[in-house]
Amino acid sequence: MSAENWTPPCRAHAGTAPISGVRIVRPRVFADERGLFTESHSTRALTEAGIHATFLQDNLSHSKRNVLRGLHGAPNMAKLVMPIRGEVFDVVVDLRPGSPTYRVWESYVMKAEEFSQLYIPAGCLHGFLALTDEVVFHYKQTALYEPSAEFGVAWDDPELAIPWPLDGPPILSAKDAVNPTLLELGL
């Protein structure tokens, strides 16, 4: 497994440098006539990639095309995410006070067949848009889910101006539909 300063098939907002601590991890894939094998998690490999995290909870979500989940974050929770079926437009927003990339966002197109994982540092927002008819998305978290610790920001916040590649109106949860903007949060 290796982390790289990867140039995503999308762009970083306003041509800025990548967000500090965000990593793309690409595990080795061994393929032959039987199919393939890959390590989906190796503490040693993650440490070698500069990720020093202990993951406490795993989650799966299942989404259809145009489901938009996010933007969510927690000050104490880092995530390691990957699609295991389908393709997503994935977004990270740095909301860590004092960070040189505060309020900067990056986007990535992640495809299950590439097996790439995205590490999102604690204090950053995360969200994704399902680009295919079926998406199964895997999350590893460094903290147990605690609703009172989570915060959300509107997916369409005008200050962020993220160009989500929607194919029609987004399908949102009731909670995500009313997330406040950065301005409303005083950030």
CA distances from 88 to 19, 56, 101, 110, 166 (A): 19, 24, 23, 5, 11
Q: Which residue in 62, 126, 139, 145 is the catalytic one?
A: 139
In the residue annotation, 72 being an active-site residue is answered as yes
User: Cα(22)–Cα(41) distance, rounded to whole angstroms?
Assistant: 17
Q: Which residue in 41, 62, 72, 126 is the catalytic one?
A: 72
Q: How far apart are the first and last CA of the chain?
A: 36
In the residue annotation, 139 being an active-site residue is answered as yes
Q: Say if strands 117-120 and 79-85 run parallel, antiparallel, or are unpaired.
A: antiparallel
Q: Which are the catalytic amino acids?
A: 72, 139
